[in-house]
Structures are given as C-alpha cells and as structure tokens.
Amino acid sequence: MQQKYFGNIPIYYVDKLPGKFRGMTIPPYGIFILKKHKRDSKILLHDYIHWCQYKKMGVLDFYVCYILQYIFIGYDKMPMEMEARKLESDYIKRHYRKIYHK
C-alpha cells in the first residue's frame, strides 16, 4: 500500500478494494484508490467530495446518512453520491454503478 497526501488527506493506493469499487473514502482514515487508477483525477475528486462531506458532517453522521440514503434511496440516486458525481454527465450520474461497478 502506497501512501500519499492530497492536502492533509491521506491517500492510499491499494491492490484491492471490496466489491468492484475503484476508490473508497473511509473516514477518518483516508481515501483508498486502486493502484491501476492512480492517475484518474475523477476518482480522486469523487472521493475528495466524500471526504469534504465527512468533514462537514462528522464521522458518525457521515456514516449514518450514507447508509440510510443507500438503503432508502439506492446507490445511483442517493444525494451524497450525486454530489460526488457533480462533474460527471447526467447519464453517468444516474447509472454510475452500471458503468463503473460492472
């Protein structure tokens, strides 16, 4: 696992992540990105937005809100994910899992 920093946020480049994720934000530990996507700035930006959500909400509220949105709204339409996808096209915003989590 290779560690770098984005500002003061620890970024870890790893060989594996759960499921088919390319990157994950795990507050308060840092952002984890697959090594093969190290140069993909969209993934880093997506997870940076999640990090900002965590900093604004606090760790407990971040996880509770994320989990409740996931359960009741669904991954592709939940507000926290939509915010993190704000620079993506409308199609990608609505079908993120289908496109990136094949």
Could you tell me the residue ranges of all domains in the chain? 2-100
Report the pLDDT value the prediction gives residue 76, as an integer from 0 to 100: 82
Q: How far is CA 28 from CA 42, 55, 73, in A?
A: 21, 9, 25
Name the pLDDT band for 75 (thresholds 50, 70, 90). Answer: confident
pLDDT tens, position by position, 22-70? 999 999 999 999 999 998 888 899 999 999 999 999 999 999 999 999 9
Report the pLDDT value the prediction gives residue 94, as an integer from 0 to 100: 63
Cis geometry, peptide bond prior to residue 10 (ω within 30 degrees of 0): no
In single-letter form, the type of residue at position 96 comes to: Y
Q: How far is CA 82 from CA 1, 8, 19, 39, 94, in A?
A: 29, 24, 20, 22, 8
The pLDDT > 70 percentage for the chain reads: 80
Report the pLDDT value the prediction gives residue 85, as an integer from 0 to 100: 84
Residue 96 has pLDDT above 90, yes or no: no
The verdict on pTM exceeding 0.85 is: no
Q: In this structure, are strands 30-34 and 9-14 parallel, antiparallel, or unpaired?
A: parallel
